[in-house]
Amino acid sequence: MTADSGHARPVDEPAGHPAEGHLAGGLPGALAETLRYGPFHRALRDAIAHRGLSLARLRAHLGQHGVQVGQSTLSYWQRGLRHPEVPRAIATVRALEAVLRLPPESLVALVGARPQPRPARPAWVSAAPLTPGFDGVGDAGANTDLELLSVHDTVLVGPEREQRSISTRLVVRAGRAGPDRFLAVHQGDEGSLVDNALVRPGEGCRLGRVRRQVATRGLAFELLFDRRLGEGEEHVFSFTVVDDTGGPTPGHRRAFREPCRGYLVQLAFNRRALPARCTKQFRSDADALPVDLEELVCGLGGVVSAYYEDVGPGVASVGVEWT
């Protein structure tokens, strides 16, 4: 996966997830797996199918628990067209867990998750042609009034070695009064169906315009702050891109056009699909050879981390090799 610059906890936590160890409680393996790794809409859809309930019957059962929710809302949730609003919808999600006979907090954990290099050359393609569709703002002019202070990317890798989601938290500072949005770029892995990719805004922003480019597997989108920042004002916001249709991921990279004080990237691997090798890399541009190559350790929890201090301009990445 490729990201462009301008929380995320790894959803694949090492232990203690509400769905872990619940197979003995009667959940089929596929449902338990989806409850553990998400995304929310897929877990909800699978749980409803497992219980054999229509949406009308599900809504009626929720009413018996004192929760009123529209059938259309349930439909939107299970199709991924909308996401439960936090914290307002938490009571409804907990009632869904009770009605669907799911482990406590298993769906709630997915709602709160904010929560993608082959050995030779990674299948990374520049998504630059996307950005001129935003009122004529090209790559060089995007986010020019925002200083990037910190970025934290968390990439969740699934059991088929596929990228499942990328959660990002950023800290920016306004260089002048007025900026009210951030333009982000995502590029899916080889085989990704970018038309199916979802962007879920987290804290501090909401989703604006979205542009997709199937040929390059590119996705560009606006994150709106809902107010104009004052000069020197700092702002924290987060978002998640769900793009789980690609093949085995070659790793994750982020391009920095301007220096950034700190960049942390973490890849959380499914325990059934651990990498053979991971390397921390830095390139002066996307086509250059790495000027800094460092072996990374995949810990017992299946998480690989790389931290860059005072990074950029250039491309910071974690390369992944599979057996």
Residue 142: CB partners within 8 Å, gap ≥ 6?
A: 131, 134, 183
**pLDDT over 90 at 305, yes or no:** yes
Provide the pLDDT confidence category of residue 112 given band limits of 50, 70 and 90.
Answer: low
All domains of the chain in start order, with CATH: 2-10+115-321 (2.60.40), 39-112 (1.10.260.40)
pLDDT digits (tens, 9 = 90+) for 203-252: 999 999 999 988 888 899 999 998 999 999 999 999 999 999 889 999 99
> For residues 177 and 146, what is the distance between their CA atoms, to the nearest angstrom?
10
Q: Is the pLDDT of residue 67 over 70?
A: yes
pLDDT tier at 162, thresholds 50, 70, 90: very high
Q: What is the pLDDT of residues 119-153, one digit of tens each?
A: 333 333 333 444 444 444 444 457 889 999 999 99
Please write the tens of the pLDDT for every residue from 243-280.
998 899 999 999 998 889 999 999 999 999 999 999 99
Three-state secondary structure string covering the chain: CEEECCCCCCCCCCCCCCCCCCHHHCCCHHHHHHHHHCCHHHHHHHHHHHHCCCHHHHHHHHHHCCCCCCHHHHHHHHHCCCCCCCCCCHHHHHHHHHHCCCCCCHHHHHHHCCCCCCCCCCCCCCCHHHHHHCCCCCHHHCCCCEEEEEEEEEEEECCCCEEEEEEEEEEEEECCCCCCEEEEEEECCCCCCHHHCEEEECCCCEEEEEEEEHHHCEEEEEEECCCCCCCCCEEEEEEEEECCCCCECCEEEEEECCCEEEEEEEEEECCCCCCCEEEEEEECCCCCCCCEEEEECCCCCCEEEEEEEEECCEEEEEEEECC
